[in-house]
Amino acid sequence: MELKFTEEQEMFRESVREYCQRKITPVALEMEKTREISIEIKKGMAELGLLGCTASPEYGGSGLDAVSAGVIGEELARADPTGSIPVFYLVQAAWGFVLNKYGTEEAKKEVFPKVIAGEYFLGIATTESDAGSDVGGTRTMIKKEGDGYIVNGEKMYISGVREAAEGGGGHLTIAKQNPELGTRGMTMFYLPLTADGITPTYIDDLGREGISCGGFAIDNVKIPKYYILGEENKGFYIVHEGYEFARGLIAVICAAAGLKSLENGMNYIKERKCFGTAIGKFEEINFRLAEHYTRLNMLRDLAYKSLWTIDREQQGKGSRFETSKAIAMAKMFASDWACNAINDVMQWQGAFGYSKECPDQAAWRAIRSFALAEGSKEMMKMIVARELLGKEFIAYK
């Protein structure tokens, strides 16, 4: 057993960390006001090869595996407390992996070069007003018409709507093709948000201000056949591979954001005095620090292990279910543990911790989203229990 990153992964980390220190951290909190990731940062990320990094080299990507993608996510999460850039990155890495694996040659050649150059945004759109983690509740419909397909419905709480609708790009989307077949009648496809019939709407999120959140109505939108991912009616299975990739990255990002916040906290409690002594000497504080640090490192290890199971599965050495379980275990407490740590760091910093000048408040608001995003923590428990007890113990069946 050897628990270490490869030389190549360490080089990725060094390059990305240096970039983040130069270009992201100094301006990260500005995104709370500008509400966008600057063109300069998108361009810089593209030049480093961070966008669409999981796409194969023939489409201009670096063909990164899941662990390597995690290394990059970790560094971005350390650098940007608003969580905007980590989300911008992780969505495109995870769903780029799906497009790369299941997309047609034509779609990949059309979409990837622009995603990798930072011109297009590639997102995921499964959630609807009445269907979140329960993908089977999707109401959006897709049907064949002539050489292509027609899509109707509405998606909601989607990241990167403005980026794709105004800047170009689209979202991997799921819809029911044969509703009578339930989850076995769902098809996944690439939906450009610049298509006729798409009407975007926007929602103000609690955090992650640099990346938009919203929804879009889909009114008789025509898409060509080559936008279909994999086979028709197999979308439910395909979408979970993307979710799992994203969930693993989210777990790493939560651990990184929490640990970064603890570093901020440590710097503070070593200096700040109360009753003439550094507050870091009080056990109420330093015991909590020790607990959070231990918990977040457990999370980090579990998160990387979960990404490693994805890579093993892709190499034909692991099963789908093994991956699902490992990923769900990693994501289950990721947001809670990181938020609890960040919340304590805010507390240690007193009134400053509650001010908008404090990066930790931005981190708390961003990381809180991950208890829901890409599958709620409750859903993660359901997956683990299902894998332990068997499908016959799924409550809703």
User: Which stretch, 5-13, 182-190, 329-337, 350-358, contacts another protein (CB under 8 A)?
Assistant: 5-13
Please report which helix (H) or strand (E) contains residue 17, including its range: helix 7-19
Q: Can you tell me which of 28, 32, 42, 62 binds another protein, judged by CB under 8 A?
A: 62
User: Which stretch, 18-26, 167-175, 176-184, 198-206, contacts another protein (CB under 8 A)?
Assistant: 18-26
66 near another protein, rule: CB under 8 A: no
Q: Can you tell me which of 30, 35, 49, 350 binds another protein, judged by CB under 8 A?
A: 49
- Here the tokens at position 80 are 């940007």
Nearer to another protein (CB atom), residue 6 or residue 294: 6
Q: Can you tell me which of 57, 276, 316, 390 binds another protein, judged by CB under 8 A?
A: 57
- Here the tokens at position 119 are 């011109």
11 near another protein, rule: CB under 8 A: yes
Contact predicate 88/123, CB 8 Å: no
7 near another protein, rule: CB under 8 A: yes
* CB 27, min distance to another protein, A: 16
Helix axes 377-389, 320-332, angle to 10 degrees: 140
143: Cβ–Cβ under 8 A, 6 or more apart, which residues? 149, 150, 177
2 near another protein, rule: CB under 8 A: no
Q: Can you tell me which of 24, 29, 31, 53 binds another protein, judged by CB under 8 A?
A: 53
Helices (H), ranges, 103-160: 105-116
Question: Whole-angstrom distance between the N-terminal and C-terminal Cα of the chain?
Answer: 40
In eight-state DSSP terms, residue 396 is T
392 near another protein, rule: CB under 8 A: no
Angstrom distance (rounded) from CA 314 to CA 321: 13
User: Which stretch, 8-16, 292-300, 357-365, 387-395, contacts another protein (CB under 8 A)?
Assistant: 8-16
- Here the tokens at position 214 are 């919203």
* CB 378, min distance to another protein, A: 36
Angstrom distance (rounded) from CA 134 to CA 375: 9
166 near another protein, rule: CB under 8 A: no
Nearer to another protein (CB atom), residue 63 or residue 197: 63
* CB 3, min distance to another protein, A: 18
40 near another protein, rule: CB under 8 A: no
User: 145, 312, 291, 175: which is closest to 244 by C-alpha?
Assistant: 312
- Rg of the chain in Å (alpha carbons): 21
Measured in whole angstroms, the distance separating CA 298 from the mean position of its chain's CA atoms is: 20
Burial 130-156 (b: 16+ CB within 10 A, else e): ebbbebeebebbbeeeeeebbbbbbbb
Angstrom distance (rounded) from CA 254 to CA 158: 20
12 near another protein, rule: CB under 8 A: yes
Nearer to another protein (CB atom), residue 22 or residue 356: 22
Question: Which is it for strands 213-223 and 273-274: parallel, antiparallel or unpaired?
Answer: unpaired
18 near another protein, rule: CB under 8 A: yes
211 near another protein, rule: CB under 8 A: no
* CB 47, min distance to another protein, A: 6
* CB 292, min distance to another protein, A: 24
Angstrom distance (rounded) from CA 25 to CA 278: 27
Contact predicate 310/244, CB 8 Å: yes
* CB 62, min distance to another protein, A: 4
* CB 263, min distance to another protein, A: 16
50 near another protein, rule: CB under 8 A: yes
Binding site for another protein (CB under 8 A): 7-8, 10-12, 14-15, 18-19, 22, 47-50, 53, 57, 62-64
